[in-house]
């Protein structure tokens, strides 16, 4: 079976970390080799860029600076971790990928989606995830969960409207390509969410 590239997406507080564990357990039980990684980040250099991106600061961060930093981290991540793993037959599970850029920098910040698409082609070539699981929940629910965790990073401090725009882009992208995207209602009970994710994984294993 060819190793596959699976990404989990969603706005803040939808439970990506918890549900990546569901995917990990599914693959582990079937003795399929995998790595788990995240964006921005995934390599030492990319993690340094992540810290720059997420740190709250007094200086206003230009939207294009933010966009280019995201893709700089992604280029490093792809060349040093994602592509080598896939080439070796190892599945890759990634907490966020380029869909997050379309949602956050495109929907949230209002950057032209065509500009993001140009950078996507430049950095990724034809590489796309085999499947993207979008964990979807009302923004209010997600932000309540995030706030309860404690200190917030620069993105988590954004207004509800920012995340509603991001959520709209996620749903738009899923509607445009239902073959790759799988929307899971993350406001449901954890056991229901887990069951839905396992059904998606079963489809991926058998196709």
pLDDT in tens, 23-66: 999 999 999 999 999 999 999 999 999 999 999 999 999 999 99
Task: Tally the C-alpha atoms within 13 A of residue 205's C-alpha that lie toward its C-beta.
Answer: 15
Q: What's the pLDDT score for residue 96?
A: 97
Buried b (16+ CB within 10 A) or exposed e, 25-58: ebbeeeeeebbbbbbbbbbeebeebbebbeeeee
CA distance 79 to 186: 32
DSSP H helices in 37-185:
44-54, 63-77, 83-87, 98-101, 113-124, 139-149, 160-176
* The pLDDT of residue 116 is above 90: yes
The pLDDT mean for the chain works out to 95
Q: What's the pLDDT score for residue 17?
A: 85
* Lookup: tokens for 70: 């995201």
| Closest to 34 (Cα-Cα) out of 8, 77, 3 | 3
Helix (H, G, I), strand (E, B) or coil at 174: helix
* The pLDDT of residue 13 is above 90: no
Average pLDDT over residues 168-193: 96
* Lookup: tokens for 159: 């207004």
Residue 89, number of CB atoms within 10 A of its CB: 11
Global pTM reads: 0.94
CA distance 102 to 106: 5
What range does the domain containing 50 cover?
5-206
Question: Into how many domains does the chain fold?
Answer: 1
The CATH number for 42's domain is 3.40.50.300
Average pLDDT over residues 80-105: 98
* Lookup: tokens for 106: 């495109």
Q: What's the pLDDT score for residue 191?
A: 94
Percent of the chain surpassing pLDDT 90: 85
Residue that wins the pLDDT comparison between 150 and 185: 185
């Amino acid at each position: 079976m060819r190793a596959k590239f699976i990404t989990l997406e969603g706005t803040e507080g939808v439970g990506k970390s918890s549900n990546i564990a569901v995917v990990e357990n599914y693959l582990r039980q079937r003795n399929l080799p995998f790595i788990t990684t995240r964006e921005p980040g995934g390599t030492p250099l990319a993690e340094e860029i992540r810290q720059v991106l997420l740190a709250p600061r007094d200086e206003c961060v230009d939207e294009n600076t933010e966009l280019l930093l995201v893709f700089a981290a992604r280029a490093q991540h792809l060349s040093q971790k994602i592509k080598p793993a896939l080439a070796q037959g190892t599945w890759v599970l990634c907490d966020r990928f380029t869909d997050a850029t379309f949602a956050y920098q495109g929907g949230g910040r209002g950057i032209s989606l065509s500009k993001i698409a140009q950078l996507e082609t430049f950095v990724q070539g034809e590489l796309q995830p085999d499947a993207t699981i979008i964990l979807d929940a009302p923004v209010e629910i997600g932000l309540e969960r995030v706030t309860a965790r404690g200190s917030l990073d620069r993105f988590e401090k954004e207004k509800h409207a920012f995340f509603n725009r991001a959520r709209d882009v996620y749903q738009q992208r899923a509607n445009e390509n239902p073959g790759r995207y799988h929307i899971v209602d993350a406001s449901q009970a954890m056991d229901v969410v887990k069951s839905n994710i396992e059904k998606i994984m079963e489809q991926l294993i058998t196709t």
